[in-house]
Structure 1
Amino acid sequence: MTENLERIESLTQRLAAALSRRPMHDPGVEGPGADLMVNAGMAMAKMWAEQPARILEQQVKFWGATFAHYAEMQSQLAKGKLTAPADEEPEKDKRFKNPLWQSHPYFNLVKTQYQINAQAMREAAAGLDMASEVDQHRLGWLTNQIIDMFAPTNFFATNPDAIERALETEGESLVKGLENLVRDVETNGGELVVSLADRSAFAVGENIGTAPGRVVRQAPLYELIQFSPSTESVHATPIVLFPPWINKFYILDLKPENSMIRWIVDQGYTLFVVSWKNPDASYAETSLEDYVSAYLSAMDAVEEITAQPKLNAVGYCIGGTTLTLTLGLMAQRGDDRVESATFFTTLTDFSEQGEFTPFLQDDFVEGITAEVARNGIFASQLMTRTMSFLRANDLVWGPAIRSYMMGEAPPAFDLLYWNGDATNLPGKMTVDYLRGLCQQNLLIGDGFPVHGHNVSVKDVTLPLCAIGCETDHIAPWKYSWRGVAQMASKDKRFILSESGHIAGIVNPPSKKKYGHYTGSSDFAHGPDAWREGSKFAAGSWWPTWEAWLAERSGDMVPARQPEEGFGPAPGSYVHERH
């Protein structure tokens, strides 16, 4: 006990010191602006004036359910046991899987009242006549965030798992939880970002990201890696793959058995992959135009190294969005060296913002603009936090409970390790992207300005293949499909993979886990019609795409070994943390 008290005192001092280092952020990135609150207040006042009976009905319903529940629980508590109704449905919410939530009167009282409160809050928010659909969406999102935050599982006194663990370990779990909390705050410079994976379990280039290759070019924004061939002959036309610069490229090379990089090389291709710089404040003025220039520079290098006049380009997520800008610029300049383009989970039409709607309004974007004006970058911790709250129970509250209340170490999970290895974003590029693409939707409308040209999706005319993922919440497949539908290519194909933004792409054939849908070339009648006319195929989409790519990759030639260059893969940029 004495030892634990000393540890707690020391940890508390470290926590206070770490929290004191937390940087001040613009209010716009901490929560919705005052306009949403004002609009919600006005909508409530309007309802009171015009439909008071409706509000009273909601209140009567809520308090009726609350008092009925309270009376029932009083009876159960008096008996000292809980008698569940015979027709009670099994609990589906995984947060309440502990049997005590159903069998113990106290925990059942807390859980059921929480569910009554949550339902009343959702109904009240949905019932307001907000000024716009966007405000309605944002209010609903904020309401759900509050509901999730106040779940009884998030508090020690109302979490039976945490109480049981503390009793079993004589309080050791709580001390370890405090150690985990201090570690996370110290690691993130005063920000509270929950560790999702054990960072000591992985080392890039040692047990993940180990595909052999060489860094053949090094530029201020990127390293270009050429991966070593594994076949005696390769297709004449090389591939250059542009991953997103929000995260590191090794998502495509986690382990040998699920490495897309290794698989592409094994199919007989010369593969180049861009590894992006993790920018610091000196990159504040780096713009989307600069990234387009980096694409062109990487293509120049591939052409020089392979002595081939043509190449196939692949873009993943925002890497695909910027590939679209690059292809549009090349088309307007008469540069036809890209034989075909492939887009992984890529958005180009931002007319619908989906789950990102709360983050793409002026208050949040203005907050980010102020942040990058002050710091030169949009810090990776802020980006990680923002993305995590799209799935708060899975990526924030659940891991926090396990780490801080249960005292568990984060799992040794390579995908979650990569997810936490985010990069900073250059200030100007961040504003270019949010303003010009997400808010103004210039790729679909008047064209996004790139090096003196206004580029739109209609400038893309070369053969293309796009892959969407069925449950992708970052780049919903229907939004991705709509962008592809507006491209001017006569030769285009769309593949729909099962699963989400990462698992749907990193889906090796050996796993035989997720299937995919292939449809016709009819892009005239909307994504639902395309889906209805598509055919399902079991297993990974990789072979389907490779068969399409092989037709556009030329004859077989002797395999190309990478030059000595700037050292072995995965290079140096991938290790940078700021």
Structure 2
Amino acid sequence: MAWAVEQGLSVFMVSWKSADASMSEVVWDDYIAAQVDAIDTVRELLDVPHVHTIGYCVAGTTLAATLAMLAARGEADKVRSVTFFTAQVDFELAGDLKMFVDESYLTLLQQLSAGGFLDGRYMAATFNSLRGRDLIWNYVVSNYLLGNDYPPFDLLYWNGDTTNLPAKWHRQYLVDLYRDNRMVIPNSLTVMGTPIDLKKIETPAYIQAGREDHIAPLASVWRLMDHLSGPKTFVLAGSGHIAGVVNPPAAGKYQYWTGDNQAATLDEFVAGAGETKGSWWPHWIGWISQQDDAKTAAKGARIPGEGAKKAIEDAPGRYVKQR
């Protein structure tokens, strides 16, 4: 997000906390309440009526639920725009991960989560198995058999930085969303006491998907276009779940495709899409400017440590460092 700051945006980030036994009772509502708290805190600190939000992967799914809840409560105007990075709300086409939601696997997860949380290494092994040739056997041959050193690659370091998950939340997520696909059934799920309906979300949305994403497949991310009611912009990025998102413009890597946002199907969008070399981030900053081009001089809370709430510690913060 350093690039976004360089473009003049004030950026606040919310970090996942790696779960331990103290989080055994944490459920989805707790994460949504935290998102609402973050939205309200930023609005108060900066004295602004609304914020622009971004949700990456699971946080994007959660953000969609947050927006649906705010809409149901008449508070949708707290959020001016929403950006989804490789996020899913409709899990019918969620890909190979759906193999891990039958009763036998759920029973195994319960056994592995006896301490109230699931060790993130189990989840990492699951994701790696989806691309075994690239993420497992490639290293067996190159490093173990041939004795080559691991190439320096910052994204793989990030990929290996696993996060533990609260057991109750994890099971709830797998059963309600991956298995039963209840998020797209109006009023099937209740969030913080409020039934949610994604069709009530009229917030302008920027939806980014990765062409080679094996965690949030392209066809699954596209379904956001079917379930949100506001204006939507769809962008298809080259590469996958991490590299397709973390692609700074200065690197000059990959490409992205834009097309007809009124296309009825993904195939129709792809058939008419135009390719642009490099990062999609400049396209996004242009979209953000279209949503709200008002600018305010950086002061007070826009400068870390200078607002009403004092800095606790230097970035990236203790949650990011905790294992």
Give yes or no for TM over 0.5.
Answer: yes
1:424 is displaced (CA, Å) by 0.2
Percent identity between matched residues is 38
Secondary structure (helix, strand or coil) at the match of 1:558 reads coil
1:199-225 residue CA offsets vs partner (Å, 9 max, x unmatched):
xxxxxxxxxxxxxxxxxxxxxxxxxxx
Cα drift, residue 450 of structure 1: 0.8
1:553 equivalent to 2:295? Answer: no
CA displacement at 1:313 relative to structure 2: 0.4
Q: Is 2:94–2:216's contact at 8 Å kept on the other side of the alignment?
A: no
Partner residue in 2 for 1:462: 203
- Residue 226 of structure 2 corresponds to residue 485 of structure 1: yes
Aligned runs of 1:36-47 on 2, under 5 Å? Answer: none
5+ residue gaps, structure 1, are: 1-260
What are the Cα deviations for residues 505-549 of structure 1, in whole angstroms up to 9, with x where unaligned? 1122222221111122314x2110111122222221111111010
1:504 aligns with 2:250: no
Whole-angstrom CA distance in 1 between matches of 2:150 and 2:112: 30
CA contact (8 A) 1:348 1:443 kept: yes
Residue 409 of structure 1 and its aligned partner are, at CA, apart by 4.1
Say which structure is richer in helix: 1
Q: What's the counterpart of residue 342 of structure 1?
A: 83
**Structure of greater Rg:** 1
Instruction: Provide, for residues 51-78 of structure 1, a one-character-per-residue CA deviation record: whole Å limited to 9, x for no partner.
Output: xxxxxxxxxxxxxxxxxxxxxxxxxxxx
Determine the C-alpha separation between the residues in 1 that align with 2:177 and 2:282. Answer: 32
Cα displacement (A) at 1:448: 2.1
> Residue 339 of structure 1: CA displacement?
0.4
Match of 1:394 among 131, 134, 145: 134
Structure 1 runs of 4+ aligned residues shifted over 6 Å read none
Q: Secondary structure at the match of 1:268?
A: coil
Q: Distance in 1 between matches of 2:143 and 2:270?
A: 41
Distance 2:104 2:318 in 1: 37
SS in 2 for 1:369: helix
Give the match's secondary structure for 1:570.
coil
Match of 2:313 among 545, 556, 567: 567
What is the distance in 2 between the residues matched to 1:496 and 1:294? 29
> Partner of 1:452 in structure 2?
193
1:465 aligned partner, one-letter code: Y
- Corresponding residue SS for 1:416: helix
Contact 2:131 2:214 in 1 (8 A): no
Alignment of 1:279-428 (within 5 A): 279-335=19-75, 336-372=77-113, 374-428=114-168
Do residues 263 (structure 1) and 9 (structure 2) align? no
Following superposition, the deviation at residue 397 of structure 1 comes to: 2.4
TM-score, length basis structure 2:
0.93
1:535 correspondence with 2:274: yes
Superposed displacement of residue 407, structure 1: 4.0
Q: Which amino acid aligns with 2:250?
A: S
Q: Which string of whole-angstrom CA distances, capped at 9 and with x for unpartnered residues, describes residues 299-322 of structure 1?
A: 121112111111000001111000
**1:371–1:378: 8 Å Cα contact kept in structure 2?**
yes
Assess, with a 3 A threshold, how the Cα gap between structure 1 residues 455 and 411 changes in structure 2: closer, same or farther. Answer: same
Residues 355 and 390, structure 1, Cα contact 8 Å, conserved in 2: yes
- Higher RCO (CA < 8 A, seq sep 6+): 2
Q: How many angstroms apart in 1 are the aligned matches of 2:94 and 2:78?
A: 33
Q: Shift of the alpha carbon at 1:267?
A: 0.5
